[in-house]
């Protein structure tokens, strides 16, 4: 059976730790679904071709471009956006480091970059500068030159490693 492009589908997902459900057409991009139907306006839409990285979210813990994914593909999955990072209005360690190192200016690309950094630091807890720059190469930022971002990510990685060693 073929789905009509205008046919509505009910999508159930976990968004930033909360169960959510909404109907959407089969052709709706995940980024538009998150922004317009679920109110996750931290997801920014830049190029709509997966090039700029502004729309990056975590899908089951993995950084993905939400402009390259259909909303119906998020059914029964966990989606985390930049709104999930701060707890009780307290910025995460990564957000605080970005602030300290002036790793953002206009802020348009920041949400997607932060989400890629979250995934990256889970996979590579003790990165070197080259690894951080390689990860950031998937994002376009015309304001900062990336140096502050690299410093912020390296600082967070070092601090997390120190905290881990202290706990042991």
Name the pairing type of β-strands 8-15 and 78-80: parallel
Q: Which fold has domain 93-167?
A: DNA polymerase; domain 1 (1.10.150)
Neighbours of 120 (CB within 10 A): 19
Q: Cβ distance 138 to 160 under 8 Å?
A: no
The whole-model pTM stands at 0.93
pLDDT in tens, 13-65: 999 999 999 999 999 999 999 999 999 999 999 989 999 999 999 999 999 99
Higher-pLDDT residue of 108 and 152 is 152
What is the distance between the alpha carbons of residues 82 and 167, in angstroms, rounded to a whole number? Answer: 28
Domain boundaries, the chain: 8-81, 93-167
> Is the pLDDT score of 1 beyond 60?
no
In this predicted structure, what is the pLDDT of residue 2?
A: 54
CATH code: domain 8-81 is: 3.10.20.30
What is the distance between the alpha carbons of residues 158 and 77, in angstroms, rounded to a whole number? Answer: 31
């Amino acid at each position: 059976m073929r789905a009509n492009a205008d046919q509505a589908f009910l999508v159930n997902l976990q968004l930033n730790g909360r169960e959510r459900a909404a109907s959407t057409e089969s052709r709706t991009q995940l980024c538009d679904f998150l922004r317009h139907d679920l109110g996750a306006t931290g997801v920014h839409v830049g190029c709509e071709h997966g090039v700029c990285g502004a729309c990056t979210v975590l899908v089951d813990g993995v950084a993905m471009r939400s402009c390259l994914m259909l909303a119906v593909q998020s059914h029964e999955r966990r989606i985390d956006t930049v709104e999930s990072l701060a707890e009780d209005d307290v910025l995460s360690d990564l957000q605080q480091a970005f602030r300290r190192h002036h790793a953002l200016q206009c802020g348009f690309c920041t949400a997607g970059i932060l989400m890629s950094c979250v995934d990256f630091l889970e996979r590579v807890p003790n990165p070197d500068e080259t690894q951080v720059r390689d990860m950031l190469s998937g994002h376009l930022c015309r304001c900062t030159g990336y140096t502050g971002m690299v410093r912020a990510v390296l600082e967070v990685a070092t601090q997390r490693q120190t905290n881990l060693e202290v706990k042991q």
